[in-house]
């Protein structure tokens, strides 16, 4: 009889423990989800959303820059990161309003290459970082680089996020290694990580490769939650000896409009001191100059549309502009 009573008592204790665990899980779920009414939402004192890099990268912003291999994506990403840490301008068009901490995650460059590039950036900038600029690069990691598609590896970054307001992921192919690139489901763990970063007040800038068709490589699901998508494109008359010369096109821009979204062309050159010099011009101006240059070189006007990938009417319009600017005579 005692054994039956002991069994009944044990069973009752197990039921009580199971009920307690269920109640705790219910409370945890309530804590995870908080719905607010319109009145409560409108009464909340929420901090204004400032820019990390004006005008296109807001605080808690998610963005992507992509382009063909060898375009100059890493030079551009390092330049952006350094400008944000300094609170400095970049490309004479964008500017970091205040210094903010940066974590730059490099997935493929040798450490010596990153060192050389950063040294050139430092030589070319009048300001020094007033906020942390931290770098994770493969050669300095005894255990290898984290896979941002893996939740455990994502947690490895937490110790490096103190005072950080911008994380640069260079690049998606090297640092998000699980699943297939063209499968939307494979991107979900990375997207969830990026959204958690946003909740923590951290912006994320993804660097990615262009596919054969010219768009960003892999699933378009990546763009769903992004504020900004910037495409780097080779000009139609690009020559390999010109190095990093490309056009910047805004394909998605939630927070900007008008002239700020118009495409423009940039080129990276080496200064007299070995530093980096970025030049930029409106794409309209660049196209006028390129068409004028081709005409002056004796290229028939009828061949220019195919050469530059533009229409005949565009060539005629820019030829007239070149005459008005004195680039062509007659």
Let me know whether 11 and 121 are in one domain. no
In a domain, 70, yes or no: yes
Is 271 a domain residue? no
Cα of first residue to Cα of last residue in the chain, in angstroms, is: 116
Q: What is the pLDDT of residues 121-178, one digit of tens each?
A: 999 998 999 999 999 999 999 989 999 999 999 999 999 999 999 999 999 999 999 8
Q: Is residue 83 part of a domain?
A: yes
Domain membership of residue 268 (yes or no) is: no
On whether both 103 and 246 belong to a single domain, the answer is: yes
Nearest Cα to Cα of residue 52 among 92, 9, 83, 17: 83
- Distance separating alpha carbons of residues 221 and 232, to the nearest angstrom: 19
Say if residue 57 is in the same domain as residue 38: no
Whether residues 255 and 299 share a domain: the answer is no
How far is it, in rounded angstroms, from Cα 330 to Cα 7?
Answer: 106
* Residues in contact with 221: Cβ distance below 8 Å, sequence separation at least 6, in sequence order: 184, 187, 188, 191
Q: How far apart are CA 278 and CA 243, in angstroms?
A: 12
**Is 299 in the same domain as 251?**
no
- pLDDT value at residue 299: 83
Beta bridge partners of 164: 101
Is residue 279 assigned to a domain?
no
The CATH number covering residue 254 comes to 3.40.50.300
Pure H helices in the chain: 2-32, 38-43, 73-86, 111-124, 151-155, 172-175, 184-199, 283-296, 304-308, 312-324
pLDDT at 209: 94
Q: Are 194 and 225 in contact (CB under 8 A)?
A: yes
Per-residue pLDDT reduced to its tens digit, 257-271 = 888 999 999 999 988
Which residue, among 155, 228, 230, 160, has the nearest Cα to 196 in the 3D structure? 155
Q: Within this chain, do residues 86 and 127 fall inside the same structural domain, yes or no?
A: yes
Structural domain count of the chain:
3
Asked if 85 and 129 count as a contact pair (C-beta separation under 8 A), the reply is yes
Q: Are residues 91 and 127 in the same domain?
A: yes
Same domain, 201 and 233: yes
Query: Do 168 and 41 share a structural domain?
Result: no
| Same domain (yes/no): 145, 179 | yes
DSSP conformation class of 5? H
Q: Computed over its alpha carbons, how large is the radius of gyration of the chain?
A: 26
Residue 3 pLDDT = 57
| Interatomic CA distance for residues 75 and 266, integer angstroms | 12
User: Is the domain of 28 the same as that of 163?
Assistant: no
40, 171: one domain: no
Whole-number pLDDT of residue 191: 96
Q: Which domain holds residue 316?
A: 285-324
- Using alpha carbons only, what angle is made at residue 62 by residues 103 and 177, rounded to the nearest 5 degrees? 70
Look at residue 63 in the predicted model and tell me its pLDDT: 97
Confirm whether 329 is domain-assigned: no
Q: What is the pLDDT of residues 52-104, one digit of tens each?
A: 999 999 999 999 999 999 999 999 999 999 999 999 999 989 999 999 999 99
Query: Considering the domain boundaries, does residue 272 fall inside one?
Result: no
Task: Report the pLDDT value the prediction gives residue 56, as an integer from 0 to 100.
Answer: 96
pLDDT, tens only, 207-250: 999 988 888 988 888 999 999 999 999 988 888 888 899 999 99
Instruction: Evaluate if residue 29 carries a pLDDT over 70.
Output: no
Residue 240 belongs to some domain of the structure: yes
Cβ contact 131:89 at 8 Å: no
Predicted confidence at residue 207, as pLDDT, reads 97
């Amino acid at each position: 009889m005692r054994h039956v009573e002991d069994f009944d008592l044990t069973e009752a204790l197990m039921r009580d423990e199971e009920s307690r665990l269920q109640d705790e899980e219910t409370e945890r779920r309530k804590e995870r989800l908080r719905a607010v009414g319109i009145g409560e939402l409108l009464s909340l004192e929420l901090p204004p959303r400032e820019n990390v890099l004006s005008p296109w990268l807001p605080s808690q912003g998610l963005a992507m820059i992509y382009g063909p291999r060898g375009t100059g994506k890493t030079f551009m990403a390092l330049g952006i990161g350094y400008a944000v840490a300094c609170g400095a301008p970049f490309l004479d068009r964008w500017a970091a309003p205040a210094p903010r901490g940066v974590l730059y995650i490099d997935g493929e460059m040798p450490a010596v290459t990153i060192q050389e590039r950063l040294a050139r950036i430092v030589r070319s900038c009048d300001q020094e970082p007033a906020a942390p600029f931290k770098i994770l690069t493969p050669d300095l990691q005894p255990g290898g680089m984290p896979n941002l598609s893996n939740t455990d590896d994502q947690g490895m970054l937490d110790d490096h996020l103190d005072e950080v307001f911008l994380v640069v992921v260079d690049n998606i192919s090297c640092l998000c290694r699980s699943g297939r690139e063209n499968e939307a489901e494979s991107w979900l763990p990375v997207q969830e990580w990026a959204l958690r970063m946003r909740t923590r007040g951290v912006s994320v800038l993804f660097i990615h490769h262009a596919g054969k068709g010219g768009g960003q490589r892999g699933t378009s699901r990546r763009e769903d939650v992004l504020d900004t998508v910037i495409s780097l494109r080779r000009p139609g008359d690009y020559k390999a000896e010109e190095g990093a010369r490309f056009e910047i096109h805004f394909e998605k821009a939630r927070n900007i409009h008008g002239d700020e979204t118009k495409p423009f062309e940039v080129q990276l050159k080496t200064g007299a001191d070995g530093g980096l010099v970025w030049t930029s011009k409106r794409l309209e101006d660049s196209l006028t100059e390129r068409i004028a240059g081709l005409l002056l070189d004796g290229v028939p006007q009828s061949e220019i549309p195919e050469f530059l990938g533009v229409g005949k009417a565009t060539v005629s319009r820019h030829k007239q502009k070149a005459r008005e600017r004195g680039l062509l005579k007659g």
